[in-house]
Structure 1
Amino acid sequence: MKTWIKRLALLAGLTALAGAGGLAWYANQPLPIEPLPKTINVAPGTHLRSLSTMLEREGVIGNAQVFWLLGRVLDKAGTLKVGVYRLDRPLTPLELYAKIQRGEVSQAIVQFIEGWNWREVRAALAAQPLLKNDSAGMSDAEILQAIGAEERYPEGLLFPDTYFYAPHTSDLGVLRRAYRLQHERLLTAWETRAPGLPYRTPYEALIMASIVEKETGAAYERPQIAGVFLNRLRLGMRLQTDPAVIYGLGERFDGNLRKVDLQRDTPYNTYTRAGLPPTPIAMPSAAAIQAALNPAKTDALYFVARGDGTHVFSSNLDAHNRAVNRYQR
């Protein structure tokens, strides 16, 4: 029995040694990259497995499994930097990993996420090592002037998207593109708005879209959420939307919205003030803008969270209170 165990151990050791030798040989062989030059995009959220699959699909590597295994052995999983990479010459797997690890991009990427506020946008720009943070020493008013915005406040004016930029360019260029794209999307949606909406300007629709964006994580609910708030506006009811109150609290908000917060008056407290808040409270998506300008036809005046990201809608206070008792209390 001991002899067999020794033989199995020896066989396992020889197999591992051969595998290690084969992997070392592979790591230093030029990859069959055709044609050259080639551009690859390492998108946000890319991990080692998806990178290997993408590179094989793009014709950069011949075997995704071996490339992935090399990355695991070299512990490259947490070192991938997003961006667009230009491959001008044949590279070995080791050189390709090093290129992506160092972030030697021809174009870098910054993401603005749906529902982010202006503070989060500025933090994302400041965290980009390849982007010149020219806006860092500028006031909001100076930034708005630099990007060609006529509005007085930056909140909600940028379109949430993935933006590519050349390394060492100004963050003002990214902001300018995001502003123009949101402006164009808003005006296009305004032209196809439903009749009879209580908005005086596209900017008011943008404010509503930002509230809709923050109120639900279920995309299909957005038109109905917008319908509820528009019903309230038409009847002169207060919107009573928690995300606006939270926005008004700013950095004082600690993650727990209290009764005293709902009673503390700010320009964004829609429990103490009627109508829309003075500005958007976040970056709304195109879908949220569309919902604000083409809301669902509903008689609902209330909604309450189920706890799973969706809501129960009610047309009267009694039904709403029953839903609150069921899902909140």
Structure 2
Amino acid sequence: MNSPAKDSESPVTDLFTAPPRPQADPAFPGPRSVRRAQRRRRRGKRGRSLVVLLVALVLVGGAGYAVWSNLESLTGLTTPLESKDYPGPGGDQVDVEIAEGATGAAMGEALYEAGVVASVSAFTEAFEANPDSVLIRPGTHTMLEEMPARDAVALLVKNATVDLQLTIPEGYTVDQIVERAVQVTGLPAKDFEAALNRPGKIGLPKQAGGNAEGWLYPDTYTVTPDDTAVGLLSQMVERTSGVLKERNVSGADWQTVLTKASLVEREGFHAEDKPKIARAIDNRLEDGMFLEIDAAVAYGAGKPGTELTRADTENPKNRYNTYEHTGLPPGPIANPGEVSIDAVLNPAPGDWKFWVTVNLDTGETKFADDFAEHQTYVQELRDWQAANG
């Protein structure tokens, strides 16, 4: 299990939470990101140079007109106000965020800044010429760099008529799910918040106590233009209920199963470890032991498990503090997937009461029956941390 830090300010190493999945480091962008950043910087420099040039042209008076009339041939500069257009067919993919209620000009500005179109005016003209442009939906659109404006409008329209795919990973919290849903669908966050505040509208059972945590099933959902926040959340709740019914779980046990499964989801890195973690949790509960699960404490404290301090684990006001309160936490701490639910329903046979991830890169987890054996594995983790910074 976990050995807290020696003082209230020093961090507690999360011995339970699985190591985070690798994410791209924004400080070291890939080749395409580098090219896009370079192009944006070049556009910014061209814009600043153009301002200086305009001032110079005004000062030289009539001579300026002659220079301005030949500016394109002399410099090749463009501005977002000119009706410049790319010949196409387009280059690398780039994601562009179309805001809720965006006008054609606002869309054009976003596309211009992303390097998709050569000018705002060219896009606006193409937008106004396409009668289907009113169908364009807010949200994240995958475009191509340096597209003809007409093709950019057509692609936005096509995106609006193609059903979106909303994928919710296992172990996401409600807040993370809402953030992902807003990003993919373009629906306002306030719509999801309003739906969550009316649990009956999304089919949340009474035993959930009005809290959707644990009940939003991680899966891939098809999103149509007519879908609403209430509709999407209802699908997720219904999917969770369906999974429990398929496994013949008694309705009275649904909340307990989801709470345990959420702990297993956040603690287990490998699928084969999850039935062992489920058994260890049951063994500790049967013996009246504190669960001492960092992931639960972190959820209640509203912080990552790697940032916990001894003060956090000693705070009795946190109802999810499994160092201070025996039994299960008051509810799920995340939304578990099928593997974690099955692990709770079919835990592996064994006497384990402790587990610790000893390698945060591979997720290797070791289990122990007694505290002395567990401490040898904790030291193994400490040694790994010392060797890996």
Note if 1:309 corresponds to 2:360: no
Question: Paired residues, what number?
Answer: 243
Distance 1:215 1:253, change over 3 A: closer
What corresponds to 1:141 in structure 2? Answer: 197
Query: Which is further off, 204-213 or 254-263?
Result: 254-263
Which residue, out of 347, 356, 373, partners 1:295?
347
Query: Using the alignment, how far apart are the partners of 1:76 and 1:123 within structure 2?
Result: 26
Mapping for residues 224-239 of structure 1, pairs under 5 Å: 224-239=276-291
Query: Using the alignment, how far apart are the partners of 2:268 and 2:344 within structure 1?
Result: 13
Which residue, out of 301, 304, 327, partners 1:275?
327
Mapping for residues 308-327 of structure 1, pairs under 5 Å: 308-327=362-381
Q: By how many angstroms is 1:187 displaced?
A: 2.7
What corresponds to 1:219 in structure 2? Answer: 271
Q: Could you say what the CA RMSD is over the residues aligned between the two structures, in angstroms?
A: 3.2
Note if 1:169 corresponds to 2:220: no
CA contact (8 A) 2:298 2:305 kept: no
Structure 1, unmatched stretches of 5+, are 1-71, 84-93, 194-198
- Counterpart secondary structure, 1:109: strand
Query: Using the alignment, how far apart are the partners of 1:321 and 1:133 within structure 2?
Result: 45
Q: By how many angstroms is 1:290 displaced?
A: 0.4
What corresponds to 2:313 in structure 1? Answer: 262
Distance 1:75 1:102, change over 3 A: farther
- Counterpart secondary structure, 1:320: helix
Residue deviations 1:22-42 (CA, integer Å, cap 9, x gap)? xxxxxxxxxxxxxxxxxxxxx
Letter in 2 for 1:327: L
Letter in 2 for 1:258: T
TM-score (norm 1): 0.66
What corresponds to 1:179 in structure 2? Answer: 237
- Counterpart secondary structure, 1:269: coil
Q: By how many angstroms is 1:256 displaced?
A: 1.3
Mapping for residues 31-110 of structure 1, pairs under 5 Å: 74-79=90-95, 99=155, 103-110=159-166
CA contact (8 A) 1:207 1:279 kept: yes
Residue deviations 1:292-324 (CA, integer Å, cap 9, x gap)? 111000111111111221211111111111111
Q: By how many angstroms is 1:80 displaced?
A: 8.8
Note if 1:123 corresponds to 2:139: no
Structure 2, unmatched stretches of 5+, are 1-87, 98-138, 141-149, 384-389
CA contact (8 A) 2:164 2:185 kept: no
Percent of residue pairs bearing the same amino acid type = 27
Q: By how many angstroms is 1:171 displaced?
A: 1.6
TM-score (norm 2): 0.56
Distance 1:270 1:200, change over 3 A: farther
Query: Using the alignment, how far apart are the partners of 1:292 and 1:97 within structure 2?
Result: 50
CA contact (8 A) 2:179 2:189 kept: no
Moved segments of 4+, more than 4 Å: 80-83, 94-98, 252-255
